[in-house]
């Protein structure tokens, strides 16, 4: 464990990093096992000892992305005080990822569109969707929205749309576009009246 430096990460870590780069940039079906192990500098047997199949590696890759996204959002949340600032801050956290020239759209949406109907891959993607939706709903409830669920669904559309537009239209400013729209919707939404 805990290598002395970054000189030599474990086979598992190198595989995850290679999978992250290749699967995300080129797609899952397009990238074969051989390219992953070559990019990771790891033997094929190591892959199949660590993960039981290609699907297992793909799931680990997605879970890794999921954890990173949660961390990034959690860190962004600490920068804001009020729930209103926080819910708009989610779009800022999204916008950070758009500035990466490697940005290529939502990894979970892309993986889902390549995965068969009832695969473990889709399960991970669904967990992600539940998380992001609950995140919006929670923050909007805390903001005192009268109808947080409806607004959360609208925010989710802006969130997904921004990711897609940033990638397909090569337009990193989609995050601020989405944020501006969310701000208008939030201002227009009725507040919950305090219980009498």
Partner DNA sequence: GCTAGAGTAGACAGGTCTGTCGAATAGGCG
Partner DNA sequence: CGCCTATTCGACAGACCTGTCTACTCTAGC
CB closer to a copy of itself out of 45 and 184: 184
Q: Are 98 and 174 in contact (CB under 8 A)?
A: yes
Residue 16 as a binder of a copy of itself (CB under 8 A): the answer is: no
| 43/99 Cα distance (integer angstroms) | 34
Q: Are 167 and 105 in contact (CB under 8 A)?
A: yes
Residue 32 as a binder of DNA (CB under 7 A): the answer is: yes
Of positions 10, 97, 141, 154, contacts DNA by CB under 7 A: 10
Q: Are 88 and 179 in contact (CB under 8 A)?
A: yes
Of positions 96, 113, 131, 146, contacts a copy of itself by CB under 8 A: 113
Spell out the alpha helix ranges (H) of the chain.
11-26, 33-40, 44-50, 54-77, 83-98, 107-114, 120-142, 148-168, 174-188
Of positions 34, 100, 117, 187, contacts DNA by CB under 7 A: 34
Copy the structure tokens of residue 36: 């992953």
CB closer to a copy of itself out of 71 and 169: 169
Residue 64 as a binder of DNA (CB under 7 A): the answer is: no
Query: Which residues form the interface with a copy of itself (CB under 8 A)?
Result: 26-27, 29-30, 104-106, 108-110, 112-114, 116, 125-126, 129, 133, 150, 153-154, 156-162, 164-165, 168-169, 171, 174, 177-178, 180-181, 184-185, 187-188
């Amino acid at each position: 464990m805990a290598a002395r430096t970054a000189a030599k990460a474990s086979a598992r870590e190198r595989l995850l990093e290679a999978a992250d780069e290749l699967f995300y940039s080129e797609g899952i079906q397009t990238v074969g096992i051989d390219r992953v192990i070559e990019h990771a500098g790891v033997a094929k047997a190591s892959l199949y000892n660590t993960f039981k199949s290609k699907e297992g590696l793909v799931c680990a890759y997605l879970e890794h992305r999921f954890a990173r996204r949660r961390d990034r959002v959690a860190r962004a949340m600490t920068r804001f005080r009020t729930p209103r600032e926080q819910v708009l801050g989610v779009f800022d956290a999204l916008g950070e990822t758009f500035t990466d020239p490697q940005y290529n759209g939502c990894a979970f949406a892309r993986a889902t569109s390549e995965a068969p109907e009832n695969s473990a891959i889709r399960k991970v993607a669904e967990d992600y969707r539940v998380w992001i939706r609950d995140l919006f709903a929670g923050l909007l409830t805390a903001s005192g929205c009268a109808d947080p669920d409806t607004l959360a669904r609208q925010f989710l559309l802006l969130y997904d749309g921004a990711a897609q537009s940033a990638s397909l239209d090569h337009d990193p400013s989609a995050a601020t576009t989405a944020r501006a729209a969310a701000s208008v919707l939030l201002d227009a939404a009725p507040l919950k009246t305090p219980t009498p």
